[in-house]
């Protein structure tokens, strides 16, 4: 019988003293909320949950009904438990403080409630990404502010994602490697199906939105050209390409078989350093990638070292097989 999520977390808490009970309970609540999100997503047209909400989020993007529903599920599930001081979400302009009627804890939860929204209405894999930080020591006894969230990704206590695909998966790191749980839909239990996930250090598979190529910086243009030149070109090997347009699906493929994912700055909107958000997309994914032996940079700097300046800030993302990320960095030097 596969270990349950609870058994895995209790053992990590007991053996490695890696996570206090508050973090174990918090992860279990998040996992339960992701079960509900997956169930709701799975209903599709039968649940009347497809299509647009008719509103825009803080990013100026049209919100899907499921974006809003998923956000609500995570807020409601995490408000009352007493582990959190506040939450932040791609779908909310400002931080969400724990209502006074509930006890407050010392952790901060950040999430992209449903990543890959452009895929919702066409039944392609989407997911929930989450990141757990500890509130600063000096936050005790005072109101939590947005500044309290602005910690580098290296400070994350835990990170993970749920992937709503052919299987419903929960992929998690508490700083002791990466593990995968598969949802047993009959039992409603997350069962441990993979431990110590390791990313192959080399790859022949890149993941980038090629339709943006005329807008890329020169180094990215050169890197992709060299990949496309294949075995007769400077790389001396043929490459394959994948683009699902769901970061969760791309990262999961890379965790399983290696690869490199790139969403670099481009000149469509020069003021934006990239499309993806640092706090609740790039940071949690970078922690998972590094914990599995990969690398994650913003073209030159380690993503987990970036000191955030605002909660919704964007960043260029290049992550995956360690040696391939190093190769891309050389094009920028
Ligand atoms: P594009 C989804 O909207 C997302 O934030 C990531 O999950 C995904 O990798 C990227 O944007 C897709 O972007 O420009 O190809 O639609």
Of 145, 175, 194, which residue sits at a domain end?
194
Q: Picking from 24-28, 68-72, 137-141, which range would have the lowest pLDDT averaged per residue?
A: 137-141
pLDDT band at 168 (very low <50, low <70, confident <90, very high): very high
Q: Does the beta carbon of 247 sit less than 6 angstroms from any atom of ligand 1?
A: yes
Q: Does the beta carbon of 157 sit less than 6 angstroms from any atom of ligand 1?
A: no
Shared-domain flag, residues 68 and 150 = yes
Q: In CATH, what number is assigned to the domain containing residue 147?
A: 3.30.540.10
What's the whole-number mean pLDDT along residues 155-178?
A: 98
What tens digit of pLDDT does each residue of 84-114 get?
999 999 999 999 999 999 999 999 999 999 9
In a domain, 199, yes or no: no
Domain ranges, residue 126: 5-194
Q: Does the beta carbon of 285 sit less than 6 angstroms from any atom of ligand 1?
A: no
Tokens, residue 329? 């960095």
CA 248 to centroid of ligand 1, rounded, Å: 10
CA 108 to centroid of ligand 1, rounded, Å: 25
What tens digit of pLDDT does each residue of 230-246 get?
999 999 999 999 999 99
Shared-domain flag, residues 45 and 101 = yes
DSSP helix/strand/coil, 206: strand
In a domain, 200, yes or no: no
CA 35 to centroid of ligand 1, rounded, Å: 23
Shared-domain flag, residues 240 and 116 = no
Shared-domain flag, residues 124 and 17 = yes
Closest protein CA for atom 14 of ligand 1: 209
CA angle 223, 226, 231 (to 5 degrees): 145
Over 90: is that where the pLDDT of 17 sits? no
Distance, CA of 74 to chain centre: 15
| H helix runs in 177-312, sequence order | 218-229, 247-257, 283-291
What tens digit of pLDDT does each residue of 253-290 get?
999 999 999 999 999 999 999 999 999 999 999 999 99
Q: 193 φ, ψ to 5°?
A: -120, -10
Shared-domain flag, residues 179 and 291 = no
Shared-domain flag, residues 300 and 184 = no
| Nearest atom of ligand 1 to the alpha carbon of 118 | 3
CA 116 to centroid of ligand 1, rounded, Å: 6
Which of 117, 80, 73 lies closest to 100 in space, CA to CA?
80
In a domain, 273, yes or no: yes
Q: Does the beta carbon of 266 sit less than 6 angstroms from any atom of ligand 1?
A: no
Do 64 and 51 touch, CB atoms closer than 8 A?
A: yes
Angle between helices 21-43 and 65-79 (to 10 degrees): 150
What's the whole-number mean pLDDT along residues 138-146?
A: 91
What whole-number distance in Å separates Cα of residue 106 and Cα of residue 139? Answer: 8
Shared-domain flag, residues 69 and 159 = yes
Shared-domain flag, residues 213 and 184 = no
DSSP track, 106-150: SEEEEEEEEE-GGGGGGT--EEEEEEEEEPPGGGTTS---GGGG-
Q: Does the pTM exceed 0.95?
A: yes
Shared-domain flag, residues 160 and 110 = yes
| Nearest atom of ligand 1 to the alpha carbon of 211 | 15
Q: Does the beta carbon of 245 sit less than 6 angstroms from any atom of ligand 1?
A: yes
What whole-number distance in Å separates Cα of residue 324 and Cα of residue 185? Answer: 37
Number of domains the chain contains = 2
Do 131 and 284 touch, CB atoms closer than 8 A?
A: yes
Share the mean pLDDT of the chain: 96
């Amino acid at each position: 019988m596969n270990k349950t999520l609870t058994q895995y977390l209790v053992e990590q808490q007991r053996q490695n003293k890696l996570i206090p009970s508050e973090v174990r309970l918090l992860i279990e609540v998040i996992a339960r909320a992701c079960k509900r999100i997956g169930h709701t997503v799975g209903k599709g047209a039968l649940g009347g949950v497809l299509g647009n909400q008719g509103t825009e989020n803080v990013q100026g993007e049209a919100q899907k009904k499921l974006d809003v529903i998923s956000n609500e599920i995570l807020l409601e599930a995490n408000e009352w438990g007493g582990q959190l001081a506040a939450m932040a979400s791609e779908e909310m302009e400002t931080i969400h403080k724990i209502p006074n009627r509930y006890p407050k804890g010392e952790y901060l939860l950040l999430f992209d409630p449903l990543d890959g929204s452009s895929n919702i209405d066409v039944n392609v894999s989407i997911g929930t990404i989450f990141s757990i930080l500890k509130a600063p020591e000096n936050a005790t006894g005072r109101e939590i502010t947005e500044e309290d969230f602005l910690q580098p990704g290296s400070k994350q206590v835990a990170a993970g994602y749920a992937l709503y695909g052919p299987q419903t998966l929960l992929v998690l790191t508490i700083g002791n490697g990466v593990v995968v749980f598969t949802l047993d839909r009959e039992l409603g239990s997350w069962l441990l199906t993979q431990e110590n996930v390791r990313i192959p250090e080399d790859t022949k598979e890149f993941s980038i939105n090629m339709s943006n190529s005329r807008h890329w910086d020169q180094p990215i243009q050169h890197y992709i050209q060299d990949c496309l030149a294949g075995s007769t070109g400077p790389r001396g090997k043929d490459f394959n390409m994948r683009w699902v347009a769901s970061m969760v699906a791309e990262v999961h493929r890379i965790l399983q078989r290696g690869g490199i994912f790139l969403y670099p700055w481009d000149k469509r909107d020069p003021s934006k350093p990239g499309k993806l958000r640092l706090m609740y997309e790039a940071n949690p994914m970078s922690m998972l990638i590094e914990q599995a032996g990969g690398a994650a940079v913003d073209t030159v700097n380690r993503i987990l070292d970036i000191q955030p300046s605002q909660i919704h800030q964007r960043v260029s993302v290049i992550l995956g097989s360690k040696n391939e990320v190093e190769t891309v960095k050389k094009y920028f030097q």
